[in-house]
Each structure stands twice: as C-alpha cells, then as structure tokens.
C-alpha cells in the first residue's frame, strides 16, 4: 500500500505501526521520526521558511480565512507521482493543517481516486482510536492494537505516579502567544492524568482565545508554552511578548521558574 500523510501526527502513527516504507508523501512539517524528512513533500504552507512572529502569523491566517483561502498548498505533481492508495488527513482544524474539503477537491484531478481517512480526535482516547483506524485501513490492525495497549499502560503508569503527588498545581497550557490562546481537545485531560489542574483549558473542544486578565486571575503555578507549529528556538524568541504583559513576573509559575 502507498500512503500519503497530510499531517505530522498521522506520519508518526504510520511509523509507529512499522509502515514507514509504505509512506510516499508527507507535509513540510513532518519531521519525526527523522526518516520522515526523506519522504517527498506533498503539502506545504505559504508561511514555511518565513521568519514571522505569532502575531504576524495570526494576521496572515485570519486574512486568508476572510478571503476563503488556505495557507496550505497541495503539490499535485508530487501527489500524482506518489500515486497513493490512502491519504491520511484531518478536518479538525483548517489552520493547523490542510483542510479536508481542500483535499477532497484536489484529489478529483488524480488518475485514480485514493481512499481518504480523516483523523479528528477530541480526547486522548480519540487519539488512540485513530491509531486503530489507521491500522485497520492499512492492514496493520494487530500492530495498532499492540501500540494502543502499550500507550494505555504508559498512561496508567503516569496516572499512578501522579496520584502520589502532594499537590495538584494550577496549569496554564498556552497554545498561541499573540493573541493568547488556551489549549483544548486532549490537552486538559493529559494535564489531569499528569497530576495537574487545567482550569483554563477547553476539554474536548478547540483551543480558544483567553484574556490576559483571566490568566492573571487564575494565577497559574505551572505554565506550558506549546504554540502550534513552533519549535523551541521560535518559542523562546516569543517570550519577550509575555514578559511585557503587566503582572507576568508576579505569576507563581514565573516566580518559581516553572515555565516549560
């Protein structure tokens, strides 16, 4: 089977199931495992390679959305050469990856229409279920079941260790820096499993904007910086914007150096 992955998480699933040799196309953001970088790039973002701040990216994305345009481009020449039997994509967020409807429209021009599997997890259990779905679609159901069982054991191990903690710190998971976005979907559940309390997150639903006043009222004891699509150097470069916020140095997480 020939597989094209239109999102990094799907690429990781393919490799986790031992199907990397069947992967014939990825996105420019697929960088793990390292073998993913050797695959033909089918999907690129117009933002790729530009040195943009989170605020600049937000403005560009919003302007494209206003026009009904995507910031992602599918290279049809590469896709035709890849000739996939299966395309792994998503319809959870048109900002984070190429949109589902765009995929369906573009593949109409292919000589042969591939199967399209959309992964749309809202919770951690949904993420694991998606692994099973990929396994079923690729004839690797047994491997997928074994991988999911191993993940369940890891989750349970974390849950048991977290239960021994003396406190449950207030955690703020920041998914975008300018404007401020609080995490959603499976992240609040992961925080709870790890022994924290995510009083700002949106469990099982998309991330959303949050006011700085609300964050200050919450007084987080742990801050996790996880801006979507940013690497560690890019995230560190954005820190100056947080330090400029009134009251940032006084947050418990900042005073205790519990920013990750």
Strands (E), the chain: 3-5, 23-27, 41-45, 72-74, 86-89, 115-118, 171-176, 181-182, 184-185, 202-203, 208-209, 222-225
In a domain, residue 158? The reply is no
Q: What is the pLDDT of residues 104-160, one digit of tens each?
A: 999 999 999 999 999 999 999 999 999 999 999 999 999 999 999 999 999 999 999
In a domain, residue 26? The reply is yes
Asked whether residue 107 falls in the same domain as residue 178, the answer is: no
CB 175 within 8 A of CB 182: yes
Write down the pLDDT at residue 11. Answer: 98
Domain boundary among 121, 151, 184: 121
Facing residues of 5 across strands? 88
Facing residues of 170 across strands? 197
Q: How confident is the model at residue 185 (pLDDT cuts 50, 70, 90)?
A: very high
The residues, any chain, with a CB within 8 Å of residue 226's CB and separated by 6 or more, are 173, 174, 175, 183, 187
Domain boundary among 85, 101, 121: 121
Write down the pLDDT at residue 49. Answer: 72
Q: How confident is the model at residue 50 (pLDDT cuts 50, 70, 90)?
A: confident
Asked whether residue 18 falls in the same domain as residue 115, the answer is: yes
* Mean pLDDT score of the chain: 95
Range of the domain at 218: 171-255
Asked whether residue 114 falls in the same domain as residue 18, the answer is: yes
Report, as an integer, the average pLDDT of 159-179.
96
Q: Supply the pTM of this predicted model.
A: 0.92
Write down the pLDDT at residue 69. Answer: 87
Report, as an integer, the average pLDDT of 194-217.
96
Domains identified in the chain, total number: 2
CATH of the domain at 54: 3.40.50.1980
In a domain, residue 134? The reply is no
């Amino acid at each position: 089977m020939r597989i094209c992955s239109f999102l990094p998480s799907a690429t990781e699933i393919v490799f986790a199931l031992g199907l990397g040799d069947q992967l014939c196309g990825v996105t420019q953001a697929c960088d793990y495992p390292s073998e993913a970088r050797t695959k033909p790039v089918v999907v690129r973002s117009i933002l790729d390679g530009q040195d943009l701040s989170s605020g600049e990216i937000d403005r560009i994305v919003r302007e494209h959305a206003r026009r009904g345009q995507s910031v992602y481009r599918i290279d049809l020449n590469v896709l035709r050469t890849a000739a996939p039997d299966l395309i792994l994509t998503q319809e959870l967020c048109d900002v984070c990856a190429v949109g589902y409807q765009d995929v369906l429209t573009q593949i109409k021009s292919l000589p042969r229409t591939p199967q399209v599997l959309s992964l749309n997890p809202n919770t951690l259990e949904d993420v694991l279920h998606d692994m099973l779905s990929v396994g079923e679609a690729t004839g690797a159901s047994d491997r997928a079941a074994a991988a999911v069982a191993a993940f369940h054991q890891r989750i349970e191990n974390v849950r048991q260790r977290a239960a021994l903690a003396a406190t449950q710190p207030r955690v703020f998971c920041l998914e975008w820096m300018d404007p401020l976005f609080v995490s959603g979907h499976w992240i609040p559940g992961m925080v709870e499993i790890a022994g924290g309390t995510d009083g700002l997150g949106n469990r099982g639903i998309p991330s959303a904007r949050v006011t700085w006043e609300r964050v200050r009222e919450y007084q987080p004891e742990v801050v996790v910086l996880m801006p979507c699509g940013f690497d560690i150097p890019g995230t560190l470069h954005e820190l100056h914007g947080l330090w400029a916020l009134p009251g940032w140095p006084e947050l418990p997480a900042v005073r205790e150096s519990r920013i990750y």
